[in-house]
Amino acid sequence: MTPAGRRLPPRLGQGWLVAPPAAYLFALLIFPIVLIGLYSVFLRTNLTGVVAVFSFQDWGRFFPASWGELPWRTSSPFWNTFVRSMGVTVVIALATTALAYPLAYFLAFGTRRRRSLLLLVVLAPFFTSFLLRVLAWQVMLRANGVFNSALWELHLRPHGEPVSWLINTWFSVGLVLAYAWVPFVALPIFVSMERIDRRLLEAAHDLGAGRLTAFRKVTFPLSLPGVVAGFVFVLIPTTGEFVTPQLVGGPGTYMFGQAIQDLFVGTASDWNYGAVLAVWLTVVVGLLMALSGRALTMDPRR
């Protein structure tokens, strides 16, 4: 018998239980990243081609020729696309978080009897394919779509003259992405608000704080972990988004994810250059996850 409190060393056979899921994760997650990383530093003709030479030539094509250039106006077109896409992504993430916060607040504090029904309504879009939802928005926003047809029928706009900025603009891209991600942002904020001890709010009111002051001093700081989590839920996947700008955007809404797609499966096929863009985006997403993880572990009461 072992002394009380002393842990038994794991048996050799127990370690093999981890091997199958570890191999599965390596095959699906690690190996593709390693393969793409190799493509970014080796010159190849295609997937079955022969390795020509080890080179950082494609990395040199991606980064600006001179770091003294303005970050949003450089000699590298794909670097410019990356900077523009990141700016648009941050704006969309901020707007989506701002839209989702009142919804989460209402679910947490505004209603209790019908909360389950409202949560079901919020989650209802997830029962449909994301691609089908984007296609539905394309039908509604296009020149002869639902919105323009309604304006013509109500005589709010001359017949045959659609609202030009409803489709193929940053407005349409931001609208569809905000619609798609608002439930993702609202849920973590709602969970954070649900965990707030209501006695803290009662104590704030007892000490003379109004509703706005109690919200600013108690509710909002304690809900910040959910806000950060929701913001990251939008920011990280939107950095590589290509479906939405492809369907409801136009030439002026070209994003970084579309560039990666075009370099791998588009007409401008260049797998080495596409691998550089993919690896760079992976690194950026990893840094964002690390920073968000640090923010989520911070105590909001400090």
Q: Summarize pLDDT for 3-38 with one digit per residue, the tens.
A: 555 665 555 556 677 888 888 888 888 898 888 888
Report how many domains make up the chain: 1
223 occurs within a structural domain: yes
Among 5-9, 55-59, 80-84, the minimum mean pLDDT is found in 5-9
What CATH number is given to the structural domain containing 84? 1.10.3720.10
pLDDT level of residue 49 (50, 70, 90 thresholds): low
118 occurs within a structural domain: yes
**With contact defined as beta carbons under 8 Å apart, do 247 and 135 qualify?**
yes
Q: Which of 49-53, 55-59, 77-81, 86-90 is predicted most confidently?
A: 86-90
Among 118-122, 134-138, 245-249, the minimum mean pLDDT is found in 118-122
Instruction: Check whether 70 has a pLDDT greater than 60.
Output: no
- Residue 114 belongs to what domain range? 71-126+181-297
57 occurs within a structural domain: no
Tokens 């994003």 sit on residue:
255
Q: Identify the burial level of 58 via C-beta atoms within 10 angstroms of its C-beta, where 0-12 means exposed, 13-18 middle and 19 or more buried.
A: buried
**With contact defined as beta carbons under 8 Å apart, do 223 and 196 qualify?**
yes
189 occurs within a structural domain: yes
What's the predicted TM-score (pTM) here?
0.82
176 occurs within a structural domain: no
Residue 191 or residue 8, greater confidence: 191
Instruction: Check whether 95 has a pLDDT greater than 60.
Output: yes
Among 73-82, 91-100, 216-225, 274-283, the minimum mean pLDDT is found in 73-82
CA 288 – CA 284 distance, rounded (Å): 6
Instruction: Check whether 43 has a pLDDT greater than 80.
Output: no
For a pLDDT cut of 90, what percent of the chain falls above it?
Answer: 33
174 occurs within a structural domain: no
CA 125 – CA 174 distance, rounded (Å): 17
CA 30 – CA 24 distance, rounded (Å): 10
Cα four-point dihedral sign 173, 175, 176, 177: positive
Q: Identify the burial level of 180 via C-beta atoms within 10 angstroms of its C-beta, where 0-12 means exposed, 13-18 middle and 19 or more buried.
A: buried
201 occurs within a structural domain: yes
